[in-house]
């Protein structure tokens, strides 16, 4: 198993499931987003403060590979690895695993950047520092 920079545990809620009794495909992106946001907080960043400064972190590409379905009540965890793609772009490699036996549920690759108030690419210094640290 990969060594993840961050890991967050979840439990599927009833309202996240569709008529077939499985988690709706769009909900997986919410799980991944929540894990990214919690990770970014560990870097000392606050989304509201960034927005006040005119900086917004945005997703520019999302690729998901579904391996199996989650059902109501399932416990699972999401792991992520942050990678630098270029001076202004980063990618999160994210996976979701079903507990207790760590069965792979989903593999995801989320690419992002920062955008300043003028609509130009700009990363907060904390993100740049983390990218340099993590590689």
Catalytic residues: 18
Give the whole-angstrom CA distance, residue 28 versus residue 58.
18
Within 8 A by CB and 6+ apart from 95, the residues are 2, 4, 78, 79, 80, 104, 105, 106, 107, 108
* CA-CA-CA-CA dihedral for 57, 92, 63, 68, to nearest 10: -130
Q: How many whole angstroms from its chain centre is CA 69?
A: 18
For residue 42, CA distances in Å to 11, 15, 28, 83, 135 come to 22, 29, 22, 16, 17
Question: What residues does 94 pair with on adjacent strands?
Answer: 80, 108
């Amino acid at each position: 198993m990969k060594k993840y920079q961050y890991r967050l545990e979840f439990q599927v809620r009833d309202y996240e499931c569709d008529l077939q009794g499985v988690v709706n495909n769009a909900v997986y992106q919410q799980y991944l987003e929540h894990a990214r946001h919690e990770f970014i907080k560990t870097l000392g960043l606050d989304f509201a403060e960034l927005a006040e400064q005119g900086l917004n972190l945005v997703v520019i590409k999302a690729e998901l590979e579904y391996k199996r379905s989650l059902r109501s009540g399932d416990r699972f965890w999401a792991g992520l690895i942050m990678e630098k793609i270029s001076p202004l772009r980063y990618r999160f490699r994210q996976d979701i695993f079903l507990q207790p036996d760590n069965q792979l549920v989903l593999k995801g690759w989320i690419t992002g950047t920062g955008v300043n108030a003028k609509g130009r690419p700009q990363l907060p210094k904390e993100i740049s520092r983390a990218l340099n640290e993590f590689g």
